[in-house]
Structure formats: structure tokens, C-alpha cells
Amino acid sequence: MALPKAVYVHIPFCEQICHYCDFNKVYLKGQPIEEYVKACEKEMKEAVSQFPYDHIETVYIGGGTPSSLSSQQLEPLLDSINQVFSLQKPREYTFEINPGNISDEKLSLLKSAGVNRLSIGAQAFQEDLLKKIGRAHDEKDIYRTIESARRMGFENISIDLMFGLPGQSVANFIESIEKSLELEIPHFSAYSLKVEEKTVFHQLQRKGKLPLPPEDDEVAMYDVLINMLTEQNYHHYEISNFSKNGYESLHNLTYWNNEEYYGIGAGAHGYVSGQRYANVGPIKKYINNVHSQGRPLLESHVVSTAEKMEEEMFLGLRKLEGVSISQFQNRFNKDPFEIFGNNIKRLKSEGLLKVEDDRISLTKNGLFVANEVFEKFLL
């Protein structure tokens, strides 16, 4: 069985809660951050002792808002990650930051710890839209943050954009893409809004107070995104991700390639030794469980062969290159057509899938209804 080569560390603290976010997060003020960092280190050590690794290739610190931690809080976290996983210049080490809350001191600390990629949550460039979705930054903060990052030597920078937001027009989204392109960022992630339960937007939607764009406008936003970025020689390599050559997110490809990884922190998910697991979410419960049990599991289960085959298909189809037929055969000693042949044939006849050489992949029409396609591969 292949050993995990990736690590995800979750930092659940935020200075402001965005109206769309359903990730595990809490307000920063008054939280036991130092205790949390120590608990993360203990969990890392316990995970590694139970499920050893050979070499870690990618690390991703996400949240929440990791950049909301002070330098004094970040330093021991970064040190423990480097020590527990014996990091020797990983191929990719990503740190999520919000515009406006990262100082040169923090950037220098990240750089010295080996972080070589930044993911910046811009989301939009219109200040009225940023306020509507609960973001704390403004347009100028985006420019200042990217300028600071480059001054401190960061070249591998990704920017997040969102579309389908309340009150957002197609023209708004085109403007955000244009302003992002002017920054010559090597990687884009662009996601349509999904209204999740337990969010401010869900509460507003229930009251009929969430003015979402028409579905046709949302489709037009995605279409213009694809066209504008591909025209500028960005590689559309995953449904929501675009990059210049050599700047694809290696860590996220771990997920889409259905490979194993450690998930560390409150509410984090992981996949090791054929087991998918989720950690408890509440901060104090996470800390207590780490100290009493070592691993703060909420749930864990061994992934069956049938589930692995399903995941191989619907995760792999997120990539524009799709699923490798020969790799599927090597992993499961079965042909994907033997398991999913009828659905592949039907989706191909509907113009949503294509089969070329060794690959099964989404067509452009399939990209627009990807979730419906994925559902066809659940046995």
C-alpha cells in the first residue's frame, strides 16, 4: 500500500466569519491558540507513529484563516510540522492567507520555514460585493498583499475568486478576472457559490433575502472564466483550477488522484492506510481528545474496494485529463467499463463524457453539470 506523501493542517481561527463559509472555524478572540498548536503537534506525532511515511512531498496549511495567527503563534506550528515530517524542501508547501492580514514579518517567517506557495482569498474585487459576503479586506488589500509577497520572494501565488454571489453580475465577474490577470498570477481557483447549511447565507436564503444571480448568469460566468483564462494561456487542469505550466496545485492533485494524506487539526479529514477519517470539530474537544486519546477521531472507516473505484472515477473526472483506464486496471485489476460501462456509454451518448486513448474525461458540456455526472458513478 502506498504511503501518504501529503499533509493538510487545519487552522480554524478567523478574525471575521464569511457569510458563505461552512468550514470548521471559530472567532479568533479568546481562543486557546497556543494549546491548539501543541495539540496539533501531538496529533502529528501520533499519526506518524501509527501510519509512517517515507517522504512528504506537499504540505497545505488551510482554514479558517491561518494568517490570523501571530508570528509568535505561527513559529512553533511551522517548527513542529518541519520536525515531525522531516521536511527537506518539499515540492510544494502552501499557506492560505487573507488579503490585508499578513505582515512582512509573517511572510519572512513562512519563507524561512520552507513555505513556497501562497493561496490568497481575494474572492472579488468589488468592495460592495466583498462586504455582502462578509470579507474583511478591500480591493487595495489584494494588491498590497501580492506586492508584499513578491517582495519577500514568493513567486508561486494562487488567487481565489468566487462567482454566483448575491448581487454579482456577469460584468462584475469579468472585471474581477481582468484585474486578476493584470497581476500576472500563475494560478487561479474559481468556485461557484454553494449555499451550505449553518451559514449566514443559508439563513438569509430561508428568509427569501438572498438575491442570487439567475442560473443562466452563473453559467455565463463559468463560461467566460474558461474562455478568458485559456485565451491567456492558462492550463484548465481541474474543474475550478487554472495554472501556467508548472504551477498546478500538487497538493490538491493528491486528492483528485485519489492518493493518501494526513489530515491534522480540528475538523480535518484524512486518508491513510486505506482509511478515511474525520477529526472532532470543537476546539476544546479536539485539544482534550488529543491529550486523552492521541488521535481525536470523530469517525473512521476502511474504504471498501467498491468505494475506492467510485472515488477513482468521480475524483479523477474533476481533472480535465480525466481518469486513466490503465491506471484504474492496475489499481483494481478490473476495467472501468466492466464496472461502470453502462453509465459511461450513456454519458458519452449525451455528450457529457468522452473516451480517447487511455482516458475517460468530461466534455466541455460535462463541465457545466459535473456533479450530475459524478452521481452516476455511485454504485
Interval 140-174: pLDDT, tens: 999 999 999 999 999 999 999 999 999 999 999 99
Whether 279 is covered by a domain: the verdict is: no
Q: What is the mean predicted confidence (pLDDT) over 184-190?
A: 97
DSSP letter for each residue of 177-231:
HHHHHHTT-SEEEEEE----TTSHHHHHHHTT---PPPHHHHHHHHHHHHHHHHH
User: Are 333 and 187 found together in one domain?
Assistant: no
- Is the pLDDT at 23 greater than 80? The verdict is no
* Residues 314, 177 share a domain: no
pLDDT at 28 (0 to 100): 86
Q: Please check whether residues 368 and 248 belong to one and the same domain.
A: no
pLDDT tier for residue 213 given thresholds of 50, 70 and 90: very high
27 and 151 share a domain? yes
- In a domain? residue 264: no
Whether 1 shows a pLDDT value over 70: the answer reads no
**68 falls in which pLDDT band (50, 70, 90)?**
very high
pLDDT digits (tens, 9 = 90+) for 311-342: 999 999 999 999 999 999 999 999 999 999 99
Is position 244 within any domain?
yes
Closest by CA position to 158, among listed 103, 234, 82: 234
pLDDT of 379 strictly over 80? no
- Domain end residue (candidates: 196, 226, 256): 256
Residues in a beta bridge with 42:
none
The mean predicted confidence, pLDDT, of the chain is 95
Q: Which SS3 state, helix, strand or coil, does residue 379 take?
A: coil
Q: Is residue 300 part of a domain?
A: no
Domain match, 96 and 192 both: yes
Average pLDDT over residues 98-118: 95
Last residue of a domain, one of 234, 256, 278: 256
The predicted model gives 282-296 an average pLDDT of 96
CA distance 88 to 103: 26
Q: What is the mean pLDDT of residues 262-278?
A: 97
- 339 Rama class: left (phi>0) / alpha (psi -120 to 50) / beta: alpha
**Domain at 344, CATH number:** 1.10.10.920
pLDDT computed for residue 334 by the predictor: 95
Residues 6+ apart with CB under 8 A from 291: 39, 42
Q: Can you give the pLDDT at residue 20? A: 83
pLDDT band for 22, please (50, 70, 90 cuts).
Answer: confident
The answer to the question of residue 29 being in a domain is yes
> Sheet containing 353-356: which strands, arranged edge to edge?
323-324, 359-362, 353-356
For residues 54 and 185, membership in a common domain is answered with: yes
Q: What is the pLDDT of residues 334-361, one digit of tens each?
A: 999 999 999 999 999 999 999 999 999 9
Mean pLDDT computed over 121-128: 95
Q: Is the pLDDT of residue 79 over 70?
A: yes
Are 338 and 251 in the same domain? no
Q: How far is CA 187 from the centre of its chain?
A: 13
Q: How many folded domains does the chain comprise? A: 2
110 and 203 co-located in one domain: yes
pLDDT of residue 349: 97
Domain-embedded: residue 295: no
Element spanning 61, H or E: strand 58-63
To the nearest whole percent, how much of the chain has pLDDT over 90?
A: 88
Co-location of 66 and 159 in the same domain:
yes
Residue from 119, 98, 93 nearest 190 by CA: 119
The CA R_g of the chain, rounded to the nearest whole Å, is 21
Range of the domain at 118: 6-256
Q: Is 288 domain-assigned? A: no
Quick one: pLDDT at residue 102? 92
**Residue 188, Cβ neighbours under 10 Å: how many?**
24
**pLDDT of the residue at 282:** 95
Burial 150-182 (b: 16+ CB within 10 A, else e): eebebebbbbbbbbbbbebebebbeebbebbee
Q: Are 98 and 196 contained in the same domain?
A: yes
Count of beta carbons in the 10 Å neighbourhood of residue 372: 11
Indicate the Cα dihedral angle 188, 192, 197, 203, nearest 10°: 120
Pair 239, 320 in one domain: no
What is the spatial distance between Cα 157 and Cα 150, in angstroms, rounded to a whole number?
9
Are residues 246 and 147 both part of a single domain?
A: yes
Does 282 map to a domain? no
Kindly report the CATH number assigned to the domain that includes residue 34: 3.20.20.70
Q: In this predicted structure, what is the pLDDT of residue 114?
A: 95
